[in-house]
Structure 1
Protein backbone atom coordinates (compact mmCIF):
# COMPACT_ATOMS: atom_id res chain seq x y z
CA UNK A 1 0.00 0.00 0.00
CA UNK A 2 2.84 2.36 0.84
CA UNK A 3 4.44 1.64 -2.53
CA UNK A 4 1.16 2.35 -4.32
CA UNK A 5 0.84 5.69 -2.53
CA UNK A 6 4.42 6.50 -3.48
CA UNK A 7 3.73 5.85 -7.17
CA UNK A 8 0.43 7.74 -7.02
CA UNK A 9 2.25 10.70 -5.53
CA UNK A 10 4.62 10.70 -8.48
CA UNK A 11 1.86 10.34 -11.06
CA UNK A 12 -0.10 13.22 -9.52
CA UNK A 13 2.83 15.66 -9.52
CA UNK A 14 3.24 15.76 -5.74
CA UNK A 15 6.65 14.17 -5.26
CA UNK A 16 9.55 16.23 -3.92
CA UNK A 17 13.19 16.00 -4.90
CA UNK A 18 14.05 14.43 -1.56
CA UNK A 19 11.54 11.67 -2.25
CA UNK A 20 12.95 11.20 -5.74
CA UNK A 21 16.36 10.69 -4.18
CA UNK A 22 14.92 7.76 -2.23
CA UNK A 23 14.29 5.74 -5.41
CA UNK A 24 15.58 2.24 -4.67
CA UNK A 25 15.60 -1.30 -6.07
CA UNK A 26 12.00 -1.87 -5.00
CA UNK A 27 10.83 1.15 -6.97
CA UNK A 28 12.90 0.21 -10.01
CA UNK A 29 11.72 -3.42 -10.04
CA UNK A 30 8.11 -2.30 -9.60
CA UNK A 31 8.46 0.16 -12.46
CA UNK A 32 10.05 -2.36 -14.81
CA UNK A 33 7.43 -4.96 -13.88
CA UNK A 34 4.68 -2.41 -14.50
CA UNK A 35 6.20 -1.53 -17.86
CA UNK A 36 6.32 -5.21 -18.77
CA UNK A 37 2.68 -5.77 -17.79
CA UNK A 38 1.51 -2.65 -19.62
CA UNK A 39 3.56 -3.71 -22.63
CA UNK A 40 1.80 -7.07 -22.72
CA UNK A 41 -1.55 -5.36 -22.22
CA UNK A 42 -1.04 -3.29 -25.34
CA UNK A 43 -1.04 -6.41 -27.55
CA UNK A 44 -2.93 -9.04 -25.56
CA UNK A 45 -5.87 -9.03 -27.98
CA UNK A 46 -3.90 -8.48 -31.19
CA UNK A 47 -3.42 -11.76 -33.08
CA UNK A 48 -1.00 -10.09 -35.50
CA UNK A 49 1.43 -8.97 -32.81
CA UNK A 50 4.85 -10.60 -32.71
CA UNK A 51 6.07 -12.76 -29.84
CA UNK A 52 8.28 -9.91 -28.62
CA UNK A 53 5.25 -7.62 -28.49
CA UNK A 54 3.08 -10.18 -26.73
CA UNK A 55 5.81 -10.66 -24.13
CA UNK A 56 5.98 -6.91 -23.49
CA UNK A 57 9.74 -6.88 -23.92
CA UNK A 58 9.67 -4.05 -26.45
CA UNK A 59 8.28 -1.68 -23.83
CA UNK A 60 10.95 -2.72 -21.33
CA UNK A 61 13.75 -2.15 -23.83
CA UNK A 62 12.22 1.22 -24.71
CA UNK A 63 12.36 2.61 -21.15
CA UNK A 64 16.02 1.63 -20.78
CA UNK A 65 16.87 3.42 -24.04
CA UNK A 66 14.76 6.50 -23.28
CA UNK A 67 16.23 6.80 -19.78
CA UNK A 68 19.74 6.59 -21.22
CA UNK A 69 18.93 9.31 -23.74
CA UNK A 70 17.49 11.68 -21.13
CA UNK A 71 20.34 10.97 -18.72
CA UNK A 72 22.91 11.73 -21.42
CA UNK A 73 21.40 15.01 -22.62
CA UNK A 74 21.29 16.32 -19.03
CA UNK A 75 24.79 15.09 -18.18
CA UNK A 76 26.58 18.21 -19.51
CA UNK A 77 24.54 20.39 -17.14
CA UNK A 78 26.39 18.85 -14.18
CA UNK A 79 23.34 18.25 -11.98
CA UNK A 80 23.95 17.14 -8.40
CA UNK A 81 22.99 13.50 -7.75
CA UNK A 82 22.14 13.01 -11.43
CA UNK A 83 22.31 9.30 -12.20
CA UNK A 84 21.04 6.88 -14.81
CA UNK A 85 19.45 4.74 -12.11
CA UNK A 86 17.26 7.59 -10.87
CA UNK A 87 16.19 8.53 -14.40
CA UNK A 88 15.44 4.90 -15.26
CA UNK A 89 13.38 4.44 -12.11
CA UNK A 90 11.38 7.57 -12.87
CA UNK A 91 10.76 6.57 -16.50
CA UNK A 92 9.73 3.08 -15.41
CA UNK A 93 7.31 4.32 -12.77
CA UNK A 94 5.63 6.66 -15.24
CA UNK A 95 4.72 3.74 -17.49
CA UNK A 96 1.58 2.92 -15.49
CA UNK A 97 -0.71 5.43 -17.27
CA UNK A 98 -0.15 3.39 -20.44
CA UNK A 99 -2.56 0.82 -18.99
CA UNK A 100 -5.15 2.68 -21.08
CA UNK A 101 -3.68 0.89 -24.09
CA UNK A 102 -4.90 -2.43 -22.67
CA UNK A 103 -8.56 -1.42 -22.95
CA UNK A 104 -9.96 -3.62 -25.76
CA UNK A 105 -11.92 -0.91 -27.56
CA UNK A 106 -11.80 -2.99 -30.76
CA UNK A 107 -14.28 -5.38 -29.19
CA UNK A 108 -16.89 -2.67 -28.76
CA UNK A 109 -16.41 -0.33 -31.73
CA UNK A 110 -15.58 -0.41 -35.41
CA UNK A 111 -11.95 -0.40 -36.53
CA UNK A 112 -12.10 3.26 -37.53
CA UNK A 113 -13.65 4.34 -34.23
CA UNK A 114 -11.27 2.11 -32.29
CA UNK A 115 -8.29 3.66 -34.04
CA UNK A 116 -9.51 7.13 -33.14
CA UNK A 117 -10.02 6.16 -29.50
CA UNK A 118 -6.59 4.53 -29.37
CA UNK A 119 -5.00 7.66 -30.78
CA UNK A 120 -6.67 9.75 -28.09
CA UNK A 121 -5.38 7.30 -25.49
CA UNK A 122 -1.93 7.78 -26.98
CA UNK A 123 -2.24 11.58 -26.87
CA UNK A 124 -3.48 11.60 -23.26
CA UNK A 125 -0.80 9.22 -22.02
CA UNK A 126 1.96 10.96 -23.98
CA UNK A 127 1.00 14.40 -22.65
CA UNK A 128 0.68 13.04 -19.12
CA UNK A 129 4.14 11.48 -19.24
CA UNK A 130 5.64 14.55 -20.92
CA UNK A 131 4.26 16.75 -18.14
CA UNK A 132 5.63 14.30 -15.58
CA UNK A 133 9.04 14.53 -17.22
CA UNK A 134 8.90 18.32 -17.04
CA UNK A 135 7.88 18.13 -13.38
CA UNK A 136 10.65 15.65 -12.60
CA UNK A 137 13.35 17.69 -14.32
CA UNK A 138 12.15 20.97 -12.84
CA UNK A 139 12.15 19.70 -9.27
CA UNK A 140 15.21 17.47 -9.51
CA UNK A 141 17.61 19.55 -11.59
CA UNK A 142 16.54 23.02 -10.38
CA UNK A 143 17.50 24.44 -13.78
CA UNK A 144 15.74 27.45 -15.26
CA UNK A 145 12.27 27.02 -16.73
CA UNK A 146 13.67 27.71 -20.20
CA UNK A 147 16.33 25.01 -19.86
CA UNK A 148 13.79 22.52 -18.52
CA UNK A 149 11.43 23.19 -21.41
CA UNK A 150 14.25 22.67 -23.90
CA UNK A 151 15.45 19.35 -22.47
CA UNK A 152 11.86 18.15 -22.06
CA UNK A 153 10.87 18.77 -25.67
CA UNK A 154 14.20 17.93 -27.30
CA UNK A 155 14.03 14.11 -26.94
CA UNK A 156 10.56 13.97 -28.51
CA UNK A 157 11.49 16.32 -31.35
CA UNK A 158 14.74 14.52 -32.13
CA UNK A 159 13.16 11.06 -32.02
CA UNK A 160 10.31 12.07 -34.34
CA UNK A 161 12.73 13.91 -36.65
CA UNK A 162 15.00 10.87 -36.93
CA UNK A 163 12.00 8.62 -37.59
CA UNK A 164 10.88 11.04 -40.29
CA UNK A 165 14.30 10.96 -41.94
CA UNK A 166 14.18 7.16 -41.86
CA UNK A 167 10.56 7.26 -43.08
CA UNK A 168 9.46 5.16 -40.11
CA UNK A 169 7.11 7.63 -38.44
CA UNK A 170 3.91 6.07 -39.80
CA UNK A 171 4.85 2.57 -38.70
CA UNK A 172 5.94 3.66 -35.23
CA UNK A 173 2.82 5.78 -34.79
CA UNK A 174 0.65 2.83 -35.77
CA UNK A 175 2.40 0.59 -33.25
CA UNK A 176 2.30 3.11 -30.40
CA UNK A 177 -1.30 4.06 -31.10
CA UNK A 178 -2.45 0.48 -31.47
CA UNK A 179 -3.84 1.22 -34.92
CA UNK A 180 -5.06 -1.78 -36.87
CA UNK A 181 -5.98 -2.01 -40.53
CA UNK A 182 -5.33 1.71 -40.78
CA UNK A 183 -4.09 3.75 -43.72
CA UNK A 184 -2.24 7.07 -43.99
CA UNK A 185 -5.58 8.58 -45.01
CA UNK A 186 -7.14 7.98 -41.58
CA UNK A 187 -8.03 11.14 -39.66
CA UNK A 188 -5.81 9.98 -36.81
CA UNK A 189 -2.73 10.49 -38.97
CA UNK A 190 -3.40 14.23 -38.96
CA UNK A 191 -2.00 14.22 -35.43
CA UNK A 192 1.14 12.47 -36.63
CA UNK A 193 1.57 14.90 -39.50
CA UNK A 194 1.26 17.85 -37.14
CA UNK A 195 3.75 16.37 -34.66
CA UNK A 196 6.16 15.55 -37.47
CA UNK A 197 5.97 19.06 -38.87
CA UNK A 198 6.48 20.71 -35.48
CA UNK A 199 9.30 18.34 -34.52
CA UNK A 200 11.26 18.92 -37.71
CA UNK A 201 10.59 22.66 -37.47
CA UNK A 202 11.85 22.98 -33.90
CA UNK A 203 14.60 20.34 -33.87
CA UNK A 204 17.41 22.66 -34.98
CA UNK A 205 16.36 25.64 -32.80
CA UNK A 206 16.11 23.30 -29.81
CA UNK A 207 19.59 21.93 -30.47
CA UNK A 208 20.98 25.46 -30.66
CA UNK A 209 19.14 26.45 -27.48
CA UNK A 210 20.42 23.25 -25.83
CA UNK A 211 24.01 24.17 -26.67
CA UNK A 212 23.53 27.68 -25.32
CA UNK A 213 21.93 26.26 -22.20
CA UNK A 214 25.01 24.13 -21.51
CA UNK A 215 27.27 27.13 -22.11
CA UNK A 216 25.37 29.35 -19.67
CA UNK A 217 25.15 26.53 -17.14
CA UNK A 218 28.93 26.06 -17.17
CA UNK A 219 29.34 29.81 -16.92
CA UNK A 220 27.03 29.86 -13.91
CA UNK A 221 28.91 27.03 -12.20
CA UNK A 222 32.26 28.70 -12.83
CA UNK A 223 30.92 31.95 -11.40
CA UNK A 224 29.85 30.19 -8.20
CA UNK A 225 33.30 28.67 -7.80
CA UNK A 226 35.11 32.00 -8.08
Structure 2
Protein backbone atom coordinates (compact mmCIF):
# COMPACT_ATOMS: atom_id res chain seq x y z
CA UNK A 1 0.00 0.00 0.00
CA UNK A 2 1.35 3.41 -0.94
CA UNK A 3 2.13 5.68 1.99
CA UNK A 4 -0.15 8.70 2.45
CA UNK A 5 2.63 11.16 3.27
CA UNK A 6 6.14 11.48 4.68
CA UNK A 7 6.31 13.08 8.13
CA UNK A 8 9.41 14.16 10.03
CA UNK A 9 8.90 14.07 13.82
CA UNK A 10 11.38 16.19 15.79
CA UNK A 11 11.50 16.08 19.58
CA UNK A 12 14.28 15.48 22.11
CA UNK A 13 11.95 13.26 24.17
CA UNK A 14 11.89 9.70 22.86
CA UNK A 15 8.50 8.90 24.43
CA UNK A 16 6.87 11.75 22.49
CA UNK A 17 8.49 10.63 19.23
CA UNK A 18 7.29 7.07 19.83
CA UNK A 19 3.75 8.21 20.61
CA UNK A 20 3.54 10.38 17.50
CA UNK A 21 5.06 7.64 15.33
CA UNK A 22 2.49 5.11 16.55
CA UNK A 23 -0.50 7.32 15.72
CA UNK A 24 0.92 8.61 12.45
CA UNK A 25 1.75 5.12 11.21
CA UNK A 26 -1.81 4.04 12.00
CA UNK A 27 -2.86 6.62 9.40
CA UNK A 28 -0.40 5.06 6.93
CA UNK A 29 2.08 7.94 7.12
CA UNK A 30 5.78 7.21 6.66
CA UNK A 31 7.59 8.55 9.74
CA UNK A 32 11.18 9.68 10.15
CA UNK A 33 12.48 10.77 13.56
CA UNK A 34 15.05 13.34 14.67
CA UNK A 35 16.08 13.87 18.29
CA UNK A 36 17.69 17.29 17.96
CA UNK A 37 17.65 20.41 15.81
CA UNK A 38 20.86 19.74 13.91
CA UNK A 39 19.73 16.27 12.85
CA UNK A 40 16.26 17.58 11.97
CA UNK A 41 17.62 20.36 9.75
CA UNK A 42 19.97 17.98 7.95
CA UNK A 43 17.16 15.50 7.25
CA UNK A 44 14.71 18.23 6.22
CA UNK A 45 17.23 19.66 3.77
CA UNK A 46 18.12 16.27 2.33
CA UNK A 47 14.60 14.86 1.90
CA UNK A 48 11.29 16.38 0.78
CA UNK A 49 8.89 15.73 3.65
CA UNK A 50 5.18 16.48 3.35
CA UNK A 51 4.91 17.75 6.96
CA UNK A 52 7.37 18.39 9.80
CA UNK A 53 6.25 18.15 13.45
CA UNK A 54 8.84 20.31 15.21
CA UNK A 55 9.35 20.76 18.96
CA UNK A 56 10.31 24.29 20.01
CA UNK A 57 12.32 23.65 23.18
CA UNK A 58 15.37 21.57 22.30
CA UNK A 59 18.97 21.96 23.52
CA UNK A 60 21.57 23.62 21.30
CA UNK A 61 19.50 24.30 18.17
CA UNK A 62 15.83 24.91 19.00
CA UNK A 63 12.81 24.58 16.74
CA UNK A 64 12.68 28.31 15.96
CA UNK A 65 16.22 28.23 14.54
CA UNK A 66 15.50 25.02 12.61
CA UNK A 67 12.45 26.56 10.96
CA UNK A 68 14.29 29.82 10.25
CA UNK A 69 17.14 27.98 8.49
CA UNK A 70 14.76 25.67 6.65
CA UNK A 71 12.75 28.61 5.29
CA UNK A 72 15.83 30.00 3.54
CA UNK A 73 15.65 27.00 1.20
CA UNK A 74 12.34 25.13 1.50
CA UNK A 75 8.64 25.77 2.07
CA UNK A 76 7.94 22.41 3.74
CA UNK A 77 4.79 22.62 5.93
CA UNK A 78 5.73 22.89 9.62
CA UNK A 79 3.63 22.32 12.73
CA UNK A 80 5.36 23.58 15.88
CA UNK A 81 4.97 21.73 19.18
CA UNK A 82 5.05 24.17 22.10
CA UNK A 83 4.59 23.88 25.87
CA UNK A 84 1.73 25.69 27.54
CA UNK A 85 2.57 29.29 28.30
CA UNK A 86 5.20 29.66 25.58
CA UNK A 87 3.22 32.30 23.71
CA UNK A 88 6.36 34.25 22.83
CA UNK A 89 7.79 31.16 21.16
CA UNK A 90 4.60 30.62 19.19
CA UNK A 91 4.73 34.19 17.90
CA UNK A 92 8.41 33.69 17.02
CA UNK A 93 7.46 30.50 15.23
CA UNK A 94 4.96 32.29 13.01
CA UNK A 95 7.49 35.02 12.33
CA UNK A 96 9.98 32.50 10.91
CA UNK A 97 7.36 30.69 8.84
CA UNK A 98 5.61 28.06 10.94
CA UNK A 99 2.23 27.04 9.49
CA UNK A 100 0.51 25.91 12.69
CA UNK A 101 1.21 25.01 16.30
CA UNK A 102 0.00 22.46 18.83
CA UNK A 103 0.25 23.04 22.58
CA UNK A 104 1.64 20.33 24.88
CA UNK A 105 0.22 18.28 26.44
CA UNK A 106 -1.68 17.36 23.30
CA UNK A 107 -4.13 14.73 22.18
CA UNK A 108 -2.67 12.43 19.50
CA UNK A 109 -6.03 12.68 17.74
CA UNK A 110 -5.63 16.46 17.56
CA UNK A 111 -2.18 16.01 16.01
CA UNK A 112 -3.58 13.72 13.32
CA UNK A 113 -6.39 16.16 12.54
CA UNK A 114 -3.94 19.07 12.29
CA UNK A 115 -1.61 17.08 10.03
CA UNK A 116 -4.47 16.10 7.76
CA UNK A 117 -5.73 19.69 7.62
CA UNK A 118 -2.27 21.01 6.75
CA UNK A 119 -1.80 18.36 4.06
CA UNK A 120 -5.11 19.36 2.51
CA UNK A 121 -4.14 23.03 2.54
CA UNK A 122 -0.71 22.33 1.09
CA UNK A 123 -2.23 20.74 -2.01
CA UNK A 124 -5.46 22.64 -2.42
CA UNK A 125 -7.55 25.42 -0.91
CA UNK A 126 -11.23 25.68 -0.18
CA UNK A 127 -11.61 29.36 -1.00
CA UNK A 128 -12.06 29.17 -4.76
CA UNK A 129 -13.99 26.55 -6.68
CA UNK A 130 -14.96 26.34 -10.32
CA UNK A 131 -18.34 25.21 -11.52
CA UNK A 132 -17.42 25.32 -15.21
CA UNK A 133 -14.55 22.85 -15.09
CA UNK A 134 -12.24 25.55 -16.41
CA UNK A 135 -8.68 25.82 -15.12
CA UNK A 136 -8.63 27.42 -11.67
CA UNK A 137 -6.24 30.35 -12.19
CA UNK A 138 -6.20 33.95 -10.97
CA UNK A 139 -4.31 36.20 -13.38
CA UNK A 140 -3.17 39.76 -12.71
CA UNK A 141 -0.75 42.03 -14.53
CA UNK A 142 2.40 40.64 -12.86
CA UNK A 143 1.06 37.88 -10.70
CA UNK A 144 -0.54 34.52 -11.49
CA UNK A 145 -1.99 32.08 -8.97
CA UNK A 146 -2.56 28.63 -10.46
CA UNK A 147 -4.73 26.94 -7.86
CA UNK A 148 -4.86 23.62 -9.70
CA UNK A 149 -1.07 23.38 -9.56
CA UNK A 150 -0.85 25.28 -6.25
CA UNK A 151 1.73 27.55 -7.85
CA UNK A 152 2.38 31.30 -7.73
CA UNK A 153 4.43 33.09 -10.38
CA UNK A 154 5.55 36.72 -10.51
CA UNK A 155 6.76 37.95 -13.92
CA UNK A 156 6.90 34.26 -14.94
CA UNK A 157 9.19 33.39 -12.00
CA UNK A 158 7.79 30.82 -9.57
CA UNK A 159 7.66 31.90 -5.91
CA UNK A 160 8.15 29.37 -3.12
CA UNK A 161 5.43 29.86 -0.49
CA UNK A 162 4.51 27.92 2.63
CA UNK A 163 0.97 26.50 2.66
CA UNK A 164 -0.22 29.27 4.96
CA UNK A 165 1.41 32.01 2.87
CA UNK A 166 -0.18 30.57 -0.25
CA UNK A 167 -3.58 30.28 1.37
CA UNK A 168 -3.42 33.84 2.68
CA UNK A 169 -2.44 35.25 -0.74
CA UNK A 170 -5.12 33.24 -2.53
CA UNK A 171 -7.77 34.27 -0.02
CA UNK A 172 -6.98 37.97 -0.48
CA UNK A 173 -6.61 37.75 -4.26
CA UNK A 174 -9.94 36.04 -4.85
CA UNK A 175 -11.67 39.23 -3.63
CA UNK A 176 -9.62 42.15 -5.04
CA UNK A 177 -10.05 45.51 -3.29
CA UNK A 178 -12.08 43.97 -0.46
CA UNK A 179 -10.71 44.92 2.95
CA UNK A 180 -10.29 42.08 5.45
CA UNK A 181 -9.73 42.69 9.16
CA UNK A 182 -7.01 40.79 10.98
CA UNK A 183 -9.70 39.04 13.02
CA UNK A 184 -11.48 37.91 9.86
CA UNK A 185 -8.25 36.62 8.34
CA UNK A 186 -7.47 34.68 11.51
CA UNK A 187 -10.93 33.14 11.44
CA UNK A 188 -11.07 32.29 7.74
CA UNK A 189 -7.46 31.46 6.86
CA UNK A 190 -6.64 29.81 10.19
CA UNK A 191 -9.89 27.96 9.77
CA UNK A 192 -10.32 25.88 12.92
CA UNK A 193 -10.29 26.75 16.61
CA UNK A 194 -7.38 29.12 16.55
CA UNK A 195 -7.03 31.75 19.22
CA UNK A 196 -3.93 33.46 17.95
CA UNK A 197 -2.25 36.78 18.34
CA UNK A 198 -3.21 39.27 15.63
CA UNK A 199 0.52 39.69 15.00
CA UNK A 200 0.36 36.27 13.38
CA UNK A 201 -1.41 37.86 10.43
CA UNK A 202 1.04 40.76 10.31
CA UNK A 203 4.09 38.49 10.25
CA UNK A 204 2.64 36.35 7.46
CA UNK A 205 1.77 39.44 5.42
CA UNK A 206 5.31 40.73 5.94
CA UNK A 207 6.90 37.47 4.76
CA UNK A 208 4.55 37.28 1.79
CA UNK A 209 5.38 40.82 0.70
CA UNK A 210 9.10 40.14 1.05
CA UNK A 211 8.89 37.12 -1.23
CA UNK A 212 6.87 38.98 -3.86
CA UNK A 213 9.10 42.06 -3.58
CA UNK A 214 12.15 39.90 -4.20
CA UNK A 215 10.95 39.51 -7.79
CA UNK A 216 8.79 42.58 -8.31
CA UNK A 217 8.17 45.54 -6.02
CA UNK A 218 4.90 46.21 -7.85
CA UNK A 219 3.70 42.67 -7.05
CA UNK A 220 4.58 43.14 -3.37
CA UNK A 221 2.64 46.40 -3.30
CA UNK A 222 -0.50 44.57 -4.42
CA UNK A 223 -0.96 43.56 -0.77
CA UNK A 224 -2.04 46.83 0.79
CA UNK A 225 -2.37 47.81 4.44
CA UNK A 226 -5.58 49.61 5.37
CA UNK A 227 -4.50 51.33 8.56
CA UNK A 228 -6.68 50.62 11.56
CA UNK A 229 -8.64 47.96 9.68
CA UNK A 230 -6.59 45.25 8.03
CA UNK A 231 -5.40 44.28 4.55
CA UNK A 232 -6.59 44.09 0.98
CA UNK A 233 -5.34 42.87 -2.38
CA UNK A 234 -5.14 45.62 -5.00
CA UNK A 235 -5.43 44.32 -8.56
CA UNK A 236 -3.26 46.18 -11.04
CA UNK A 237 -4.70 46.34 -14.53
CA UNK A 238 -2.62 46.51 -17.69
CA UNK A 239 -2.73 49.82 -19.52
TM-score class, shorter-chain normalisation, is 0.3 to 0.5
Higher relative contact order, chain-length normalized (CA < 8 Å, sep 6+)? 1
More helix by share: 1
Q: TM-score normalised to the size of structure 2?
A: 0.32
Identify the structure with the greater strand proportion. Answer: 2
Query: With structure 1 as the length reference, what TM-score do the two structures score?
Result: 0.34
